[in-house]
Amino acid sequence: MKKKLLKNTEWTVLIVCLLLFAIGAVALFSATQSTEYGEFKKQIQWFVISIPFLILAYCIDYNLIARFSAAIYLVMIGLLIGVLFTEPINGATSWYHIGESISIQPSELAKVVVILFISFLINQMQIRGRKEINKIWKLAIVLIFMAIPIGLIVIQPDYGTAIAYILAMLFILFVSGIDKKYIILACIVVVVLVPIAYNHLPSHALKRIEVFLNPESDPRGDGYNIIQSKLAIGAGQLIGMGLFQGNQTQLGFLHPKTTDFIFSVIGEELGFIATAAILVLYVVLITKTIYIAKTAKDNLGSYIAIGIGGIFFFHMAENIGMTIGLLPITGVPLPFVSYGGSSLITNFICIGLLLNISARRQKSYLER
């Protein structure tokens, strides 16, 4: 049985994420030389800590994990409430501090928990048939459990992470067989609410949108980071300026260069070839995630896999998009590449679940 699990496992997703981590580690090594490689060393430590979580997420049957998701969901909601009473950092109450050097971001860790719980909830509702999700009261229950963590994250405020949750949930609902009428209704609601929400956004959020549309309107203020990011990526050209040689990176013009703008560091010092390689790796990762969702042995596995795919897709698109000026800056990290312990652990748990789901499939998609 163990040989069968190992044979069925889609090891490509693990190889891809390790390659992404390696590229990110090289960029962090270069970007942190002025601080004696502090964040680089911490990232390696977080990587080692992530390994047991990856193994557990792979070895324990995902059906068993999902059964405990409701209890873990409640714990995570408690943590998301508690973090609102912590000391703000850059205007956001998103972190618990353990000692002087360790910070935990519950909104990152809660991603995988919410995906597991919502997937389990929908799967339980569909015991009598896939159309059960289209009963209004059942759909309302799902939406309420989705809205609670999203609302708490918006309050922090962390709009980028909240959007990641929303996209993951939309992916799960779409795959679960939700009726087209609800999709059309949701689109109408979005069209109506977007202008209303825009008019009620806090001043800093409106400023980010304004700067996104015209960075040169505030080149020394809110537009500074995106301008420096585009300069860095453009300066890298085909093969980059070389490690430790990037002007924007090494002279401190990029900020924060180890998290939000790590893609800019790679573009400047390693060039277009490296950034193109990253894009290819993410395309492979997301494609394989969709394939795992298609070939899962049950609906629960499909929902979990596609939810994870939604998270990876949003983070990749938003982070890269904001560094090249195509999307507003939201502070969303680049999976496996950006510095961050909570993010790295969460991403490796997601990879473990994908390996788990693929290992327990009974037939390949083409054999069905």
**Which CA distances in Å does 277 have to 43, 257, 270, 283?**
21, 20, 11, 10
pLDDT higher for 346 or 94? 346
Which phi and psi angles does 30 have, rounded to 5°?
-75, -40
pLDDT higher for 10 or 89? 10
Distance CA 5, CA 147 (A): 36
Report yes or no on 155 lying in a domain.
Answer: yes
Residue 238: DSSP 8-state: T
Report yes or no on 368 lying in a domain.
Answer: no
Report yes or no on 32 lying in a domain.
Answer: yes
On the question of pLDDT at 364 being above 50, the answer is: no
Report yes or no on 311 lying in a domain.
Answer: yes
Distance CA 265, CA 243 (A): 9
On the question of pLDDT at 205 being above 80, the answer is: no
pLDDT of residue 362: 67
Domain of residue 241: give its range: 2-363
The type of residue at 140 is A
Q: Where are the alpha helices (DSSP H) in 32-126?
A: 38-59, 62-67, 69-82, 106-125
Omega of the bond prior to 335 within 30 degrees of 0, cis?
Answer: no
Structure tokens at 291: 């394939």
Report yes or no on 93 lying in a domain.
Answer: yes
Task: Give 195: exposed, middle or buried? Use CB within 10 Å, 0-12, 13-18, 19+.
Answer: exposed
Reading phi first (left if > 0) and then psi (alpha if -120 to 50, else beta), residue 361 is in: beta
Of the chain, the percentage scoring pLDDT greater than 90 comes to: 60
Please, which pLDDT band fits residue 99 given cuts at 50, 70 and 90? confident
pLDDT higher for 247 or 2? 247
Give the chain's domain count: 1
pTM: 0.91
Please, which pLDDT band fits residue 368 given cuts at 50, 70 and 90? very low
Report yes or no on 346 lying in a domain.
Answer: yes
3-state class (DSSP) for residue 116: helix
On the question of pLDDT at 190 being above 80, the answer is: no
- For 277-292, what is each residue's pLDDT tens digit? 999 999 999 999 999 9
On the question of pLDDT at 244 being above 70, the answer is: yes
- For 55-78, what is each residue's pLDDT tens digit? 999 999 999 999 999 999 999 999
